[in-house]
Amino acid sequence: MTLGDLALLSRRGRLRVAVLIFVLIVGAVWASAHYLEPAPPSHIVLASGLEDGLPHQYAQRYIEILRRAGVTVEERMTSGAGENLQLLQNPHSGVDIAFTQGGVARVPEANNVVMLASLYYVPMWIFYYGTDTIDQINELRYRRISVGVSGSGARAFSEPLFALNDLTSGNVTMLPMSNSAALRALQSGEIGAAVFVDGARNQAVWTALHDPKLKLLSFERADAYHRLFPYITKLTLPAGVIDFARNIPKKEIALIATKEMLAARDGLHPALVELLVDAAHEIHGEPGFFEEAGEFPGTTQVDLRVSIDAARHKRFGPSFLYRYLPFWAATMAERAIIILLPLAAILFPLFNYLPQFLRWRVRSRIYRWYGELALLERDVATREGALPTEKWLADLDRIDHSVAQIHTPAGFASEAYTLREHVGLVRHAVMARISDATPAGATR
C-alpha cells in the first residue's frame, strides 16, 4: 500500500483505515502476550537442604551462576529432599525449584513435579562403631541408629530399606539427627551407627571416612537392592580412592545409591529450565568419585517425570538466540519474534489487499448509480401509455447532482465524467420520448 492508495480516501476514510490498523496491531500484540509464553521471571526460590549438606553448598553455586544471567535465586534451607518435594507439590509454598533424590517421590501425588536433571550419585553411607564387621543392614538390629531428621533424604532412603530388612521401632532405636550431630554422637559412642545419604564430599561423610575408629558398611547384597528398587544403583568405592596415601578405604566397598536431582514444579518457564540445565552442566559436569566425565547432568528418568524442555535442551542444546546473546537479551528477542510473527501474518495480507479494497470503495461510490440509471433507462425505453416524464427528469437531476457531489481522486475522475455523460444520454432519451409523445404543432 502506498500514499497514493490512501489518497483515494476522504479524510474520514483515512482516519478509519488508521483506526482499523491500530486496532489490529493492538489486538495481535495483546493476543500474543496473553496466550503465548510469558516472559521468564527474574526471581525464583530454590529449596536446598540442611546447612551441613552438599545441596546447601551447591545452592550457592546456582545463585552465583544465575545472577550472571540476571535471575535472582532465593535459597530456602530445609530438612532435605523429602521436605523439598512436599514444597514443590504445594502450589502455595512459593518454591519453584528444589534438590530432591530418587526414592522420595510417590506417584501419583508427585505428578505436578518434574525432574530437570539428575546431578550426582548420593550413596547410603552407614558408619558404625565396634569391633565386629557388618555387611548387611539387618545386622544393625538392637542398636541406636541415626537415620536423619524428618523430611531428610537420609530418612526417606532408609525407611523402605530398613522395613525390607525387618528393622522396626521394636528392635532398633532410630534417632532423628542432622549430619554433624550424628557424627559427633557416633564418635562419642552415644549411638552405634549413623546413616548418611549424600555425596562423598559431605563434611560429615568425609570426616567419618578419615576416622580410623569408624567402620563403613559394605553392602554384600547391593545387586539385590538394585533389582528391588529401580531408583537404586550399585556403586563401588575402590580401595585408596578417598586418600591414596593413607589407603582410605583400605578395601573395596560396595555401596548402594540413588541420584540427586534438580526438580521443579511443572510449568516452569522453558527459558529458565534451559538456564538451570546449563548451570547444572557447569557445576556437575566434572568426574567425581563415582561419576564419569559428562555423565551428569542427565535426563534419564530416576522416578520423577523428566521435563520435556530439559530433555530437548539436553539433546539439541541452546537455540540460536541463547547461544549468541545474553540470557535476557535472548528472551527479549524471542518474545519480540513471538509478537511480530502474528503481526506479520495480519499486516502482510492487509497491506496486500487494502489497495484493492480502497479502489473498490472509490469505484463503488460511482458504480452504485449505474444500477439506478440502467433501470431508469430501461423504463424510458419500454414505457407505454402515459409517460412519467416529471419523475424521470427529477430522478436524472438527483443522480446528476449526487455524482457531482462525489469526492473523486484524480485517477478516477474519468469514470465520474463517463457516468455523467451516461446521465446526459438518458436525459436525451427522455427528451426524445417526450418529443415523440407531443402532437405536431403542440407545445410542451
pLDDT digits (tens, 9 = 90+) for 154-191: 999 999 999 999 999 999 999 999 999 999 999 999 99
Arithmetic mean of pLDDT, 131-135: 87
Does residue 141 have a pLDDT over 70?
A: yes
The pTM (predicted TM-score) of the whole model is 0.70
pLDDT tens-digit readout, 257-306: 999 999 999 989 888 998 999 999 999 999 999 999 989 999 999 999 99
The pLDDT of residue 312:
86
Does residue 7 have a pLDDT over 70?
A: no
Give 290 or 109, the one with higher predicted confidence: 290
Nearest to 73 by CA among 48, 47, 50, 43: 43
Q: How confident is the model at residue 393 (pLDDT cuts 50, 70, 90)?
A: confident
| φ/ψ (deg, to 5) at 45 | -115, 130
Q: How confident is the model at residue 252 (pLDDT cuts 50, 70, 90)?
A: very high
Give 433 or 190, the one with higher predicted confidence: 190
The pLDDT of residue 1:
46
The pLDDT of residue 325:
66
The pLDDT of residue 29:
61
Is residue 235 within 8 Å of 256, Cβ to Cβ?
yes
pLDDT tens-digit readout, 74-101: 999 999 999 999 999 999 999 999 999 9
Q: How confident is the model at residue 444 (pLDDT cuts 50, 70, 90)?
A: very low
Give 217 or 377, the one with higher predicted confidence: 217
Neighbours of 226 (CB within 10 A): 17
Q: How confident is the model at residue 355 (pLDDT cuts 50, 70, 90)?
A: low
Does residue 245 have a pLDDT over 90?
A: yes
The pLDDT of residue 429:
84
The pLDDT of residue 354:
64
CA distance 84 to 107: 16
Which of 58-62, 235-239, 300-304, 394-398 comes out lowest in average pLDDT?
A: 394-398
Arithmetic mean of pLDDT, 235-258: 96
Percent of the chain at pLDDT exceeding 70: 78
Q: How confident is the model at residue 412 (pLDDT cuts 50, 70, 90)?
A: low
Q: How confident is the model at residue 438 (pLDDT cuts 50, 70, 90)?
A: low
Which of 37-51, 177-191, 397-411 comes out lowest in average pLDDT?
A: 397-411
The pLDDT of residue 387:
82
| φ/ψ (deg, to 5) at 242 | -75, -45
pLDDT tens-digit readout, 324-334: 666 666 666 66
Tell me which amino acid residue 25 is.
Answer: I
Arithmetic mean of pLDDT, 37-51: 88
Task: State the cell numbers at 377.
Answer: 433507462
Is residue 222 within 8 Å of 234, Cβ to Cβ?
yes
Average pLDDT of the chain is 85
Residue 409 burial (10 A CB sphere; 0-12, 13-18, 19+): middle
Does residue 441 have a pLDDT over 60?
A: no
The pLDDT of residue 3:
46
Domains of the chain by start residue, with CATH: 43-318 (3.40.190.10)
The pLDDT of residue 392:
83
Does residue 35 have a pLDDT over 60?
A: no
CA distance 200 to 253: 13
Does residue 439 have a pLDDT over 70?
A: no
Q: How confident is the model at residue 18 (pLDDT cuts 50, 70, 90)?
A: confident
Q: Which residues of 311-347 are buried (b: 16+ CB within 10 A; e: fewer)?
A: bebbeeebeebbeebebeebbeebbeeebeebeeebb
What is the Cβ-side half-sphere exposure of residue 354, based on CA atoms within 13 angstroms? 22
Neighbours of 306 (CB within 10 A): 19
